Structure formats: C-alpha cells, structure tokens
Structure 1
C-alpha cells in the first residue's frame, strides 16, 4: 500500500534507532500486505507499520503453490492469517562445460545439453505442502507485496512451528503494538551525526582543528623530551669529566717528589722556630740587661748561630 503522507514519521537519520531496523520482523502475511510505502523512503526499500520502519520480514506457513518463471521461482505461502504471500527465489544457472555440445538423438533431431537454472540449495527440497520458515527482503510487484527470499528452512515438527508462532505473538505485543517515540535530544543528536558525514561542514572543520591541536601538542612534547634528554646527557658528561679530573689530581699527588713533600711538611715548623727564637731573644736580652747592665752579646750570638743553621738546613 502506497501513501504519500509522511506525517508522524521520523527522518531517515533516526530510523536506525527503531527496534525493527535491520531485524528479521516475524509477521503475519496480512500484516505485510498492510504495510505502508512512503515515496521518500522507497529508495531504501523501507515500509512502515505506523512509524516503525520494516525492511526485512520473516513468515511461517505452508507452501500452497509453486510457479516457475524465467530466472525465478515463486512459492506461495499461507500462514492462516487470511492472506497469502508470494516468496520469490532467484534461479541460478550452473556453469556450462566446454565439452558439452548438441547431440543428435535417434530421430535425427539435435538435443541441447545446456543446464537448466536451479534454485538455491536450501530450496531444493521445498514442495507443495512443506511448512517453511522464510526470511527475506520486502518488495512490491504490481502493487502486491512480495518477499525476496534470502533463507528458507523446512520445519520438520509441529513443535518448531508452535515455537515460531509464540515468538511472532510476542514480537507483535512487545514491538508492533508499542508506540515508538524519540525525544528531541535524540533527534538533534542523530541530525548532528548525519551532518557530520558530509565534508565541508562545521563538525568536519572542528575535527580538523582538533587533529591539528593534537599534532601541535605532540610536537611540543617531543621537543621538551629532546631537551630533557640533552640536559641529562650534558649532566652525565660533566659528571664523567669531574671524575676524570679527580682521578688525574689523585695520580699527580701520588707522583710528587719526596723532598718537596718533606720541605712542605717542615715549612710551618721553621716559621714556628723563628717566632719562638725571636721571643726568646727579646726575653733573654731584657733579662740579661737587667742583670749585667750591658747588651747580651753572647746570647744574641748563640741565637743568631742557631737561626743560621736552621736556615741553611731548610735551604738545602
């Protein structure tokens, strides 16, 4: 069913939030025929139940007819909902071999050995009366809904069929009969994401600026890391040089001549002796003068001789 009205439908960029989007929707055949086709969404093969977008359908029923056409086979499935649905399967032609060629039969006519188109492997055993679980995409042919078959499974027991009936009822109650409502915040977010997919808009410009700032930040971090490595290398070289200088000083101190060390060791002693001799000379001169009333010539001579001997010893 085609309807030009799109009131109540969300924009295309919000459809992925629907619980029926990109999902096998287990439906009745009558529900499929009641879906609405909106021209704005026909390109994406979306049909709508209320405002829920449906693209992939799944039905359970019995095959009541099989029709072969060039390149396709149609299974008519009845699920006891009051309507039947056509399920279309594309036939594939097997590749021909080079050795195959027309041969004449006993009557003189040529018969062709060209292989005939075959259905997919999962449809080979499907026959009238088979109970099938069909999955496929929705399509319209001559204003009638069809299913382009993707997968077919033959149900071998009633228990499997009943289980799918229960799942179909639960899907109808929990999804199809529940209102699908989006908040304005969700719609704005979807619109922003949709606009971000087009080049040249604000979001693309922001993304480029963000990447540029990140690249600049990484560049600054690399420069700082290189500077820190250079400072650490310089400090290590300076420490190594200091250790080398200390080693050289220690070696040079071990190679100094012994006389120099001896003279350096006796230097402070000579100075102390000179100062002590000076004090003794002054003290002795004063005491001798008081005793004799004359300068202490003998004491001065003795002290001078002692100083001279020590000076000569230090000079050697």
Structure 2
C-alpha cells in the first residue's frame, strides 16, 4: 500500500449508471476539464475511470471530466526517496492522500562546489550531480523545503496512481498562514461540489453537434498545419539537397581545375627535365 494513505479505495473503470459521457471534443464546454478542481482527499479517491479513456489521464466525478485537482490541508509526514519525496496530506475529510514531488538529476559546473541541501536540491552520491525537485507537467524547478510536517498549504497537480491508490503529482503549491485560509478553501470546495460536481454535466443535442462541428474544424486546421509543416520540411530538404548537389558540383569543378593545373605542371616539369638531360649529354 502507498505510504501513509489510510484507505483501500480501488480504481473503477465502470461509470455510474444513468450518466451521459460526452466525446472529448465536448470538453471545451466542461466546467471542470480545464480548471483546478477543488476536491477533498476522500473525493479524489472516489474518482473513476471510463473504458476508452485509458492513457489520457482523465478521471470522472459523476460524468465531469477532471485532469487537474486542488487540495488543501496539513502535512502530517514527509518521506525522502531517491527519485521523489512523498508528503502525506490530512485535509480532515476522513481520508489522507499522498503528494508526490518528483526529482531529476542535474549536472553541476566543474567549478561549482556541491553543498548538501534539504530544499530544492539535495546532494547526490555523484559529486558533480544533484537532485532538484520539478513540477509534474512543465518540469520546472520547484522549491519544497518549506513543506514539512505541521505546515498548512494548498496543492495543485495531476492525479496519478501507485499500487492502485490515487496520489496528487505536485505542480505548484501555496502556503496558508493559518486555519482561516484552510477554512476558506473548504467553503470554496463545498460550494463547487454543491453547485457543479453534484449536478451531472448536461449538454443539449444542439450543443453537442455545434461542438462536434467546431472540433472537426479544429481537427481540419490541425491537419492543414501538419500538411503545411510536412511541405515546409520537404521544401527545406529539397533546398538542402540542391545546395549539397551544387556544392558537390563546385568541388568537382575545382578538383578538375586543380587536376588540370597539376597535369600541365607535370608536363612542364617533364619537358624541363628532358631539356636538362639533353644539355648534360652534350
């Protein structure tokens, strides 16, 4: 079981009955797909998957598509590992959740000394390499030295799984100065749950058709851009081949000229040598 998570929820690929799941081209109209969805840890563990969407990192609350989540609570533990740091978050929802902070190895300049750090960079075994924390999607450097047990913070990231237990893969965070900040987050989270998540997402057939047309138009634009890129690539390759051919011909002509000069010089040398030999016989 994942470290510090106190639940046994299992992933579901079967959607709830009676819900309409819309195609991906409808997601631009979704109130949840392109936003940081405020959730409790217990509701993150209740997110489901739907057959046909595997590999897209899309989860569903009812029929709402979700890819980015936001949680707030107190850090109750921190575990250091070679490739990641695991934080355990307690948001008072009845279930904890792990927050995964990824690391990557970076090279140090030869002149830069290695210093052991407990924050954004941790000294590695290799004296010329250190580990730094990075965000889940943009892979930018992330300083998490302030994220220690007892700290209250708000976390944003994507949903991942370890041994069938959902985790938050950290993208960014904000420290909350006190419980008031956490309670305001609870209010916003509850309001979003009641107003949005608890109500199944619904589109009229006319809206779906309009989104399909727009999606088809975008797909056509993507195809045109792709073809334009291919044509541009082919044009560059043709121009490069033409330049190489011209360079080759220029080199051949220069070589032929040099060969002609060398031939004439050799003939001249032979004539001079023959005259010297004749002069010597006399």
TM-score of the superposition, structure 1-length normalised? Answer: 0.56
Measured in 2, the distance between the counterparts of 1:198 and 1:90 equals: 34
2:150 equivalent in structure 1: 129
Q: Is the 8 A contact 2:97 2:167 kept in 1?
A: yes
Q: Is the 8 A contact 2:14 2:48 kept in 1?
A: no
Determine whether 1:79 maps to 2:91: yes
Match of 1:58 among 56, 70, 73: 70
Distance 1:198 1:62, change over 3 A: closer
Residue 165 of structure 1 deviates from its aligned partner by 1.3
Distance 1:155 1:22, change over 3 A: same
Q: More strand by proportion, 1 or 2?
A: 2
Measured in 2, the distance between the counterparts of 1:190 and 1:131 equals: 41
| Structure 1 stretches lacking a partner, 5+ long | 103-110, 205-316
Q: Is the 8 A contact 1:122 1:153 kept in 2?
A: no
Match of 1:117 among 127, 131, 143: 131
Aligned length: 193
Measured in 2, the distance between the counterparts of 1:136 and 1:37 equals: 18
Residue 199 of structure 1 deviates from its aligned partner by 4.5
Determine whether 1:2 maps to 2:16: no
Residue 78 of structure 1 deviates from its aligned partner by 1.0
Determine whether 1:166 maps to 2:176: no
Distance 1:172 1:199, change over 3 A: closer
Residue 173 of structure 1 deviates from its aligned partner by 1.1
Q: Give the 5 Å matches for 1:179-194.
A: 179-194=200-215
Residue 136 of structure 1 aligns to a residue whose secondary structure is strand
Measured in 2, the distance between the counterparts of 1:40 and 1:51 equals: 14
Q: Over the residues paired in the alignment, what is the CA RMSD in angstroms?
A: 2.5
Measured in 2, the distance between the counterparts of 1:63 and 1:198 equals: 44
Q: Give the 5 Å matches for 1:130-279.
A: 130-199=151-220
Residue 43 of structure 1 deviates from its aligned partner by 2.7
Residue 201 of structure 2 aligns to a residue whose secondary structure is coil
Q: More helix by proportion, 1 or 2?
A: 1
Residue 180 of structure 1 deviates from its aligned partner by 1.6
Distance 1:12 1:178, change over 3 A: same
Determine whether 1:13 maps to 2:34: no
Measured in 2, the distance between the counterparts of 1:164 and 1:126 equals: 18
Q: Is the 8 A contact 1:122 1:151 kept in 2?
A: no
Residue 114 of structure 1 deviates from its aligned partner by 3.6
Measured in 2, the distance between the counterparts of 1:185 and 1:179 equals: 18
Measured in 2, the distance between the counterparts of 1:158 and 1:62 equals: 9
| Structure 2 stretches lacking a partner, 5+ long | 1-10, 115-124, 134-140, 225-282
1:22 equivalent in structure 2: 34
Distance 1:152 1:174, change over 3 A: same
Give the stretch that moved more between structures: 89-98 or 53-62.
89-98
Residue 80 of structure 2 aligns to a residue whose secondary structure is strand
- Where do 4+ consecutive residues of structure 1 move more than 6 Å? none
Whose RCO is larger (CA < 8 A, sep 6+)? 2
Q: Is the 8 A contact 1:20 1:53 kept in 2?
A: yes
Determine whether 1:48 maps to 2:60: yes
